[in-house]
Amino acid sequence: MGYLPEKVKVLRREPKVRSRFEELCGVIYTTLIANSYVHVGSSEIPFTVNENRLAKLIKSDERNIRRLLQVIEFRERIPFNVSGGRPVIPGSSIKGNVRSRLELSFRPKHGYVRSCFISASKPLVEEPRKGKSGWRHFKIWGSVLFEERGPPCDFTKMDKVCLICDLFGTTGLKSLIDFSDFVGEGDARDMLEPLSLEYGMNLLAAKPGSKFNGRILFHNLSPSELGLL
């Protein structure tokens, strides 16, 4: 069964002052604990394509995506970010993760919502079936994935921004919240473990229970805005 995307309007406001300190300013020292395996690495994944095998599959009119992907051969194990002998999760990765979940947590009321989607694909038109791409994501966030919130905030083209863009920044507007890199408490040799995934992909991942320490710096936030963190 298909659905029509729900069009909602994003509430926007003039951004907070950046030229001086006011309201709540400070640092949050925090620890991230991995509930499951975690991998953070380079976006570049070296691989080759078995052209002979691919040609045979094409000639046989193969349409199964899983079989087609088996022609990919990964050349080496994908590393985890390491600095000074310790695994590191970049602050930008943590910030993007927190931001996207805050955007998704806002629900419209009377056709209006407090946040845009700074980076999102087209709204869903039907619920993904179990096992298909995005089905777990849908189970967590549900109907919000059907929303059409229009273009994201861009302070070079508009004079107002949504709440989340005001706090986390957008094009032409500096962030009020910054995340340091999160550094593992132990040695990379002890915290990381090799994993073998589908299609021959091998990578290093932080074990469940791994701890990463970092800081969140903020300024000019109201108590409710700080509470979002």
Which residue has 């229970």 as its token pair? 209
Q: What is the pLDDT of residues 166-216, one digit of tens each?
A: 999 999 999 999 999 999 999 999 999 988 876 567 788 999 999 999 999
Q: What is the pLDDT of residues 100-119, one digit of tens each?
A: 899 989 988 899 999 998 88
Task: Give the per-residue pLDDT at 145.
Answer: 72
Angle at 94 between CA 222 and CA 27, to 5 degrees: 40
Q: How far is the C-alpha of 118 from the C-alpha of 138, rounded, in Å? A: 18
Q: Using alpha carbons, list the distances in angstroms from residue 67 to 53, 71, 122, 200.
A: 10, 8, 27, 12
Question: Between 197 and 88, whose confidence is greater?
Answer: 88
What are 64's two structure tokens? 């199964």
Burial pattern 197-219, b for ≥16 Cβ within 10 A else e, equals eeeeeebbbbeeebebebebebb
Position 28 confidence tier, pLDDT thresholds 50, 70, 90: very high
User: What pTM value is reported for the model?
Assistant: 0.76
What is the average pLDDT value for the chain, to the nearest integer?
84
Task: Give the per-residue pLDDT at 23.
Answer: 94
Q: How far is the C-alpha of 195 from the C-alpha of 205, rounded, in Å? A: 7
Task: Give the per-residue pLDDT at 52.
Answer: 72
4: pLDDT strictly greater than 80: no
C-alpha closest to that of 118 among 99, 93, 144: 99
E strand residue ranges, 108-210 = 112-113, 147-148, 177-179, 182-184, 192-196, 202-206
Task: Give the per-residue pLDDT at 150.
Answer: 87
Q: What is the pLDDT of residues 136-147, one digit of tens each?
A: 666 666 667 777
Question: Between 184 and 1, whose confidence is greater?
Answer: 184
Task: Give the per-residue pLDDT at 16.
Answer: 96
First to last CA, the chain: 37
Q: What is the pLDDT of residues 91-105, one digit of tens each?
A: 999 999 999 899 989
- Would you list the domain boundaries of the chain? 6-42+78-228, 44-77
Task: Give the per-residue pLDDT at 179.
Answer: 98
Question: Between 14 and 142, whose confidence is greater?
Answer: 14
Question: Between 149 and 199, whose confidence is greater?
Answer: 149
What is the C-alpha radius of gyration for the chain, rounded to an integer number of angstroms? 21
Task: Give the per-residue pLDDT at 135.
Answer: 62
Task: Give the per-residue pLDDT at 69.
Answer: 62
For range 19-46, the mean pLDDT = 87
Position 35 confidence tier, pLDDT thresholds 50, 70, 90: very high
Position 86 confidence tier, pLDDT thresholds 50, 70, 90: very high
